[in-house]
Chain A
Amino acid sequence: MSTLVVKDLTKTYLLRDGLRFSRLEAVKSVDFELTPGRTVALVGQSGSGKSTIAKLIAQLETPTSGTITLNGKPVGRRGRALAAYRDEVQMVFQDPFASLNPFHSIGHHLERPLLLHGKATKADVREKALALLERVNLSPAESFIDRKPHELSGGQRQRVAIARALAPEPSVLVADEPVSMLDVSVRLGVLNLLATLQREENLALLYITHDLATARHFSDEILVMYRGDVVEQGPSDDVILNPQAEFTKQLLVAAPEPGTNPRFLAEATRRGVPMPDHLAALEETT
């Protein structure tokens, strides 16, 4: 199992406005570590640089400075070294409507990585793809494998995207806002799937999100980003329940939370009932 270490990672974009050039420091000297069996959440608002970090780790972009090492070795940038890196590090994109090619069947999206990473032969690739679909709870897999992406719902597509990322049997998975484009009622299902897979495969998971609540429940460690900087970093409960950075406090105050709202607390007292736990209530009925 692998450990991915990000050290002093910086990405600067050169922007051109007419003849004037300016620098945009998307990511400024960020350090963190992804270890097997642990989930790290990267929380921030749009433009905070969290998606840039995902792209840097997935090697879709090259860092301006700083290093990413996998198991102590600097990552390969091209050729065989890059292929070896791709064997270990995979990514799930934010928008399941854009991350599957509308022209190809679901099967294509799973069979290609299986073949490319030598996880299947021509003879058993379909079988392996079916197994992957079952793995992400798309069953019966036979009914999904020949469909086109547009015939699936958002949640189903995101499951396919997760299956594709799992095909090379990676040890590190980057999930860039994996549920923010999905309907609210299917979000927890997809997150639970990711969490289950993460545990079962002992993955090192980077969960990128703007949602503090899921970040807390879903990860062991939280990094809060603000304009390219990591302003706070620590165990999830510490960051949420005892925030230190001013920005984290702002985020926490701004997030809607009926459970601590004076109006509903007062109502609970008036009714003489405890605050309801809707999540638990839902489980009892299902």
Chain B
Amino acid sequence: MAQTSSGRLAGLRRLLTPTFVIGAGLVIVITLFGLIAPFFVADPLAVDNAGMHGPTAQNVLGTTQTGQDVLAQLAWATRGSLMVGVIVAVLALFLSAFFGILGGYLGGWLDEVFSLFTNVVLILPGLPLMIVIGSYVQQRGLLLISIILAITSWAAAARVLRSQTLSIRNRDYVQAARIAGEKAHRIIAVEILPNLLPVMSSGFVFALITAILGEAGLSFIGIGVVGTQTWGSMLFYAQNGQALTLGAWWWFVPPGLMIALLGCGLSLINFSIDGIINPRLRTAPKQVKKAEKAEQVDKADDSAEQEEVMA
């Protein structure tokens, strides 16, 4: 057992690059903020006469036009946006895994039907569709928006998973499992799925980013989630309240910054996962640099020797 755990540790250590640590740090801080802060802030919807003023001791991030506390709004909006992101990512992961892996492994007509469906969904123009559905439905709850976002964002990941599954399906170890008598569901779950984990986690993180950005976009044009605060809805109200023209930076900078930071953090995590999937990406430049450096040191030594000789 000692061997296995040391193997896992080695895998973890491989993941712990500076890129990953910074990315994960950003994401963890923002997540904790969204989880904990809402319990400590004032009511984000409470209206007050003291509207549109900058940061004070009372309102650390100032107030909106209607005197609502921006920090309180930001706390709830963070929670809302993250919830949309996670729900969409989970749904998209499930859909892409179902259509991609099952189709890829079982093959035949099922695969044909699945990939046809995937391709059709893939070419559906995402944003216009969201606008159409969003404006058609009146009760735009968080779940509905999440489902719309999920439906429009799983297809690309499904194609990646299908092609990966197709290549893994023909590997000898899968054939060997068949000869050993493993059932199809176990081959998928135990032999194939673990080898897809890096690809799937990268897809998950990517879906998370697109979902949060997509929701922000929808909310910003006014057809986002109704009844739940998100970063997008904050920006929408800030835009409506002419925060930009009035120079009320404390109103629109915080949600904008949050989107940027979370997107940045998740992208950094994705880069590190890519490094694991394809180790060459990660180490090649470093190795070249290292060899070049050694070369230079050598040359420096040589020239030093030459100088000595000259002297």
Q: What is the chain A residue whose CB lies nearest that of B11?
A: A148
Smallest beta-carbon distance B2→chain A, Å = 8
Q: In this assembly, does A21 line the interface, its C-beta being within 8 Å of a C-beta of chain B?
A: no
Contacts of B177 in A (CB 8 A): 101, 112
Q: In this assembly, does A83 line the interface, its C-beta being within 8 Å of a C-beta of chain B?
A: yes
Q: Is the CB of A86 within 8 A of B173?
A: no
Q: Is the CB of A95 within 8 A of B172?
A: yes
Q: Is the CB of B181 within 8 A of A83?
A: yes
Q: Is the interface of B mostly helix, strand, loop or mixed?
A: helix
B contacts with A, residue count (CB < 8 A) = 21
Contacts of A151 in B (CB 8 A): 7
Q: Is the CB of A93 within 8 A of B176?
A: yes
Q: Give A90 to B191 CA distance when docked, in angstroms.
A: 19
Interface flags for B164-195 (1: CB within 8 Å of A; 0: not) read 00000001111111111110000000110011
Contacts of B173 in A (CB 8 A): 98-101
Contact for A60 among B1, B3, B179, B194, CB less than 8 A: B179
Q: Is the CB of A60 within 8 A of B175?
A: yes
Q: Give A46 to B177 CA distance when docked, in angstroms.
A: 25
Q: Is the CB of B175 within 8 A of A112?
A: no
Q: Is the CB of A102 within 8 A of B195?
A: yes
Q: In this assembly, does A58 line the interface, its C-beta being within 8 Å of a C-beta of chain B?
A: yes
Q: Is the CB of A103 within 8 A of B175?
A: no
Contacts of B178 in A (CB 8 A): 60
Contact for B172 among A99, A117, A168, CB less than 8 A: A99
Q: Is the CB of B7 within 8 A of A168?
A: no
Smallest beta-carbon distance B252→chain A, Å = 47
Q: In this assembly, does A113 line the interface, its C-beta being within 8 Å of a C-beta of chain B?
A: yes
Q: Is the CB of B172 within 8 A of A98?
A: yes
Contact for A112 among B4, B171, B182, CB less than 8 A: B182
Interface flags for A121-146 (1: CB within 8 Å of B; 0: not) read 00000000000000000000000001
Contacts of B174 in A (CB 8 A): 101
Q: Give A98 to B4 CA distance when docked, in angstroms.
A: 20
Contacts of B182 in A (CB 8 A): 112, 116
Contact for B195 among A99, A103, A112, A113, CB less than 8 A: A103
Q: What is the chain A residue whose CB lies nearest that of B197?
A: A103
Smallest beta-carbon distance B177→chain A, Å = 8
Q: Give A161 to B172 CA distance when docked, in angstroms.
A: 11
Contacts of A164 in B (CB 8 A): 176, 180
Contact for B179 among A86, A95, A100, A147, CB less than 8 A: A86
Q: Which of A104-123 contact B (CB under 8 A)?
A: 104-105, 112-113, 116-117
Contacts of B171 in A (CB 8 A): 98
Q: What is the chain B residue whose CB lies nearest that of A86?
A: B181
Contacts of B7 in A (CB 8 A): 147-148, 151
Q: Is the CB of B181 within 8 A of A91?
A: no
Most buried by A among B171, B176, B178: B176
Contact for B181 among A98, A117, A146, CB less than 8 A: A117
Contacts of A93 in B (CB 8 A): 172, 175-176
Contact for B3 among A82, A86, A100, A147, CB less than 8 A: A147
Smallest beta-carbon distance B112→chain A, Å = 15
Smallest beta-carbon distance B179→chain A, Å = 5
Smallest beta-carbon distance B198→chain A, Å = 11
Contacts of B4 in A (CB 8 A): 105, 146, 148
Contacts of B3 in A (CB 8 A): 146-147
Contacts of A117 in B (CB 8 A): 181
Q: Give A195 to B177 CA distance when docked, in angstroms.
A: 24
Q: What is the chain A residue whose CB lies nearest that of B176?
A: A99
Q: Give A103 to B172 CA distance when docked, in angstroms.
A: 14
Q: Give A146 to B174 CA distance when docked, in angstroms.
A: 20
Smallest beta-carbon distance A244→chain B, Å = 35
Q: What is the chain A residue whose CB lies nearest that of B180?
A: A113
Smallest beta-carbon distance A21→chain B, Å = 18
Q: Is the CB of B1 within 8 A of A146?
A: yes
Contacts of A58 in B (CB 8 A): 175, 179
Q: Give A142 to B253 CA distance when docked, in angstroms.
A: 60
Q: Give A5 to B96 CA distance when docked, in angstroms.
A: 45
Interface flags for B113-150 (1: CB within 8 Å of A; 0: not) read 00000000000000000000000000000000000000
Contacts of A113 in B (CB 8 A): 180-181
Contacts of A100 in B (CB 8 A): 173, 176
Report if A116-B181 is in contact (Cβ < 8 Å); known contacts: A102-B195, A105-B4, A147-B3.
Answer: yes
Q: Which of A45-78 contact B (CB under 8 A)?
A: 58-60
Q: Give A148 to B194 CA distance when docked, in angstroms.
A: 14
Q: What is the chain B residue whose CB lies nearest that of A82?
A: B181
Contacts of A101 in B (CB 8 A): 173-174, 177, 191, 194-195
Q: What is the chain B residue whose CB lies nearest that of A105?
A: B4
Smallest beta-carbon distance A161→chain B, Å = 7
Most buried by A among B2, B174, B180, B194: B180
B residues bordering A, Cβ < 8 Å? 1-4, 7, 171-182, 190-191, 194-195
Nearest 3 pairs between A and B by C-beta? A99-B172, A103-B194, A146-B3
A residues bordering B, Cβ < 8 Å? 58-60, 82-83, 86, 90-91, 93-95, 98-105, 112-113, 116-117, 146-148, 151, 161, 164, 167-168
User: Mind listing 15 A-B residue pairs with CB under 8 Å?
Assistant: A83-B181, A93-B172, A95-B172, A98-B173, A101-B173, A101-B177, A101-B191, A101-B194, A112-B180, A116-B180, A146-B4, A147-B7, A164-B176, A167-B180, A168-B180
